[in-house]
Amino acid sequence: MAEAERIIGTPDIPETEGTEETGSGDREAGRAGETTLERGKRKIMVLFGVAVFAYLLDLISKMIVVAKLEHQEPIELIGDWLQLNAIRNPGAAFGFGEAFTIIFTFIAATVIVVIARLARKLYSLPWAIALGLLLGGALGNLTDRIFRSPGVFEGAVVDFIAPAHFAVFNLADSAIVCGGILIVILSFKGLDPDGTVHKD
């Protein structure tokens, strides 16, 4: 029996085991890749979900303001400290730069394109919320620029939130400012849109 084993030899078991280990490693890498892809898709859904919510809230509020408040006396919410006062603003956010309406329109459009491109590398939930606020606000004011008088790309934005001793603004402006503040905070914390954390 011993002589027969010597002549025939033994099976090459290690090669089989190595193949199984390699296959297992490939499967684990594949699962990790799928998990990362799914995580990125969820963050993109959050971004566009926040953007749609901010956009619709701004759009509906402006429709109500135009229908009920325009050409009416301001409504006092907190005495003279906070009022609802419908105005048409041809400038940028908070009434600045009235002579550059077309320029601000193209800036808003550029911001939207940049955010859409950045979304492909987005894996951070806070960044998704921040960019969603920026996108929704930019879309809200861009809609006014395109569809409101006096003409396409020159339309005046509807503003109606009027604090005392401050410029009149709208919900799109608020979304843009909140998104910008959140981005500044995330940048100071070293959190990148792809979810990595760096420290200078």
Q: Catalogue the active-site residues.
A: 159, 173
Q: How far is CA 26 from CA 14, 21, 36, 87, in A?
A: 19, 9, 15, 62
Residue 167 and residue 170: Cα distance in Å, rounded?
10
Written as one string, the DSSP assignment of the chain is -HHHHHHH----HHHHHHHHHHHHHHHHHHHHHHHHHHHHHHHHHHHHHHHHHHHHHHHHHHHHHHHHTTTSPPEEEETTTEEEEEEEE-SSGGG--GGGHHHHHHHHHHHHHHHHHHGGG---HHHHHHHHHHHHHHHHHHHHHHHSTT-TTTPPEEEEEEETTS--B-HHHHHHHHHHHHHHHHHHHTB-TTS-B---
- Please give the structure tokens belonging to residue 131: 């960019």
